[in-house]
Structure 1
Amino acid sequence: MADNSSLVGGESLRWQINEQVPIVQILVMIFLCINLMLITTFFKKECFYKTTRYILFAVTLLSDSFLLFMSNIMLILSCFRLTMPVWLCIIISVVVLLYFTVTPVTLTAMTLERYVAICMPLRHGELCSQKSTVNCILIIHGLSSVPSIVVLSIFFASASHSFYTQYRVCSVKIFILYRWQDHIRAGVFLIYTMLMCITIVFCYVKIMKVAKAASGENKSSTWKGLKTVILHAFQLLLCLIQLLCPFIETAVLQISLELFLNVRFFTYLTFSLAPRCLSPLIYGFRDETFFNALKSYVCFGLCKI
């Protein structure tokens, strides 16, 4: 009886994985196609790659596309328990961790750009020039690399040389050899979370004050900017909740493997895929200039076909 039960449980889990993986593949492909279409539209018009908010928007699209692609591969490898050398997993995980952090940091930078545009319009051209934007992108990647450097440093200090030649299922959790390493990683992300939340709240309060004082066309533009900040805040919240997912999944794994697969599937859809599909919504479809360029590009493509 025990053997039959075990067999039925194994078949159930295999069916569950076989059902969930294709759903994720379809969703990832849809989001990647949309992102590719938006990135192509971005490079079609010169005004887009000379404007700060559109450049930062393109950075989020590229970052999200890369992250979706790589995390999807890691998900497939994990589901089917496929192993690889630890040294190769380290390289992949560090890059994934970098771009996992790039998106929320870029969203914070985009919120600051909206704050400058609405609350300091006379200085917007000076502070958000093309040169400043390039520097901003370098700063974003520099700040985003700090968690990767911290995690990597404590891992190198703790792992033995033989560990790098072993074959393991690739996951960011491979870096966590001791409980204190997990605490340090959580502390770093908590500091980032607090700083980003403070920045979002500060920008929201300042823009709200300007929105109340504005009138006519100015008021409409300001309220639109405020809605953009709210959407950024919601997107950022989903990205930040994703930081807590590994702790939840670890606790659930102690209860049941089947429940763990369900929870991981839900968290991947809600806190990994969902925030990445909000970027096209905020600047791709809500922005009139970009949306018109997108429509023009899509129609031209259809006519050409």
Structure 2
Amino acid sequence: MAANITTEYRINDERMLVQVFIVLFLCINLLLITTFFSKEVFYTTMRYVLFAVTLMSDCMFLCVTDILLILNYSQSMIQMWLCLILYTISSLCMILTPVTLTAMTLERYVAICLPLRHADLCSPRSTLHGILIIHSLSSLPCIVFLSVFFASASFSSYTQSGTCAVETFIIHTWQGPLTSAINQFYFLIMCITIVFSYVKIMRVAKAASGEDKQSTWRGLRTVGLHAFQLLLCLIQLWCPFVEAAVFEINLMLFIKVRFFNYITFILAPRCLSPLIYGLRDEMFFHALKRLALCGLRKKH
């Protein structure tokens, strides 16, 4: 009895800790999004537009995954059609962030290694096309997974109640390996892109001099941070398979593993975005600082 009470308190503490982190990250992200719309230069420059896309995706992802985490902690049952909607949104946003980070890395590669072509390749029109391509690529794994489910599931299964987890939608044994293969393919392509960009920028950084050298090394550090952030996001792609195996063993262990994965591979990489562009980018930081100071003055 005492052990159950202790476990319940610990789960409640973990739940409260997650809520504090999520509210904090959402407030920071909303402030950054407001800053993005405060200057024309931000929403007409590709890297800032992609940064805003990442922030919006992260906000949506954090809200939906928090709902799923609360449902898992409380062991609540919901109808499968609602679970399907939540899963679709989280699945799309889960892939959207690493794909957008890869695009941001390519933008830094073009800016540093192909400066004369940067204006053409990263124009507002190209940015719009890039966002459409990013969302299309991010949707493919989800479309494949859901197509198999829609083709196999009976109509009555949509109104059934159960625990909302990705395992619910796995009907055939080959769905897991198929999803894993798609995720591995994405992982490989994104890793190759990051390594290629890093090596190319490194060569330019060694050859540069003066202010160009400083700017190039700053770009190299940005790509390095993107690589670390991307690594955490890509490890997240493997989490459902680990969780699926644990789910078959013990429900409470499954909840603990999902909590650890949530903190390490969902919250952690998404708190790096404000650091990379919100604080390290001089122009964006000054605009953010000005907006925050104006808000404090209005309160006084």
When the two structures are superposed, what TM-score results if normalisation uses the length of structure 2? 0.96
1:285 aligns with 2:279: yes
The aligned residue for residue 224 of structure 1 is 218
The aligned residue for residue 73 of structure 1 is 67
Question: Which of 26, 35, 57 is equivalent to 1:63?
Answer: 57
The aligned residue for residue 48 of structure 1 is 42
Structure-2 separation of matches of 1:55 and 1:112: 14
DSSP 3-state at the match of 1:50: coil
**Contact 1:207–1:226 (8 Å) recurs in 2:** yes
Question: Which of 89, 101, 117 is equivalent to 1:107?
Answer: 101
Structure-2 separation of matches of 1:154 and 1:8: 46
Structure-1 separation of matches of 2:91 and 2:256: 23
1:267 aligns with 2:278: no
**Contact 1:81–1:169 (8 Å) recurs in 2:** yes
Question: Which of 222, 229, 235 is equivalent to 2:229?
Answer: 235
Aligned-pair identity in percent equals: 60
The aligned residue for residue 203 of structure 2 is 209
1:246 aligns with 2:263: no
Question: Which of 157, 180, 188 is equivalent to 1:186?
Answer: 180
Structure-2 separation of matches of 1:150 and 1:16: 38
1:84 aligns with 2:115: no
DSSP 3-state at the match of 2:162: strand
Residue identity matched to 1:169: T
Structure-2 separation of matches of 1:247 and 1:269: 17
Structure-2 separation of matches of 1:209 and 1:47: 29
Question: Which of 84, 91, 112 is equivalent to 1:118?
Answer: 112
- Residue-by-residue CA offset, 1:171-198 (whole Å, 9 max, x unaligned): 2222112321111111111111101001
**Contact 1:235–1:275 (8 Å) recurs in 2:** yes
Structure-2 separation of matches of 1:17 and 1:249: 18
Q: Name the count of aligned residue pairs.
A: 299
**Contact 1:13–1:258 (8 Å) recurs in 2:** no
Structure-1 separation of matches of 2:166 and 2:113: 40
DSSP 3-state at the match of 1:44: coil
Structure-2 separation of matches of 1:217 and 1:107: 26
DSSP 3-state at the match of 2:174: helix
**Contact 2:149–2:169 (8 Å) recurs in 1:** yes
Question: Which of 27, 40, 46 is equivalent to 2:21?
Answer: 27
Deviation at 1:166, TM superposition (A): 0.3
Output the aligned Cα RMSD: 1.4
Structure-1 separation of matches of 2:208 and 2:170: 51
Deviation at 1:249, TM superposition (A): 2.6
Residue identity matched to 2:116: L
Structure-1 separation of matches of 2:179 and 2:12: 33
Structure 1: unaligned runs, 5 residues or longer: 1-6
Question: Which of 151, 156, 159 is equivalent to 2:153?
Answer: 159
When the two structures are superposed, what TM-score results if normalisation uses the length of structure 1? 0.94
1:94 aligns with 2:84: no
Structure-1 separation of matches of 2:145 and 2:2: 40
Structure-2 separation of matches of 1:250 and 1:15: 26
Deviation at 1:256, TM superposition (A): 4.7
The aligned residue for residue 123 of structure 2 is 129
Structure-1 separation of matches of 2:6 and 2:242: 23
Residue identity matched to 1:38: L
Structure-1 separation of matches of 2:178 and 2:199: 32
Residue identity matched to 1:156: F
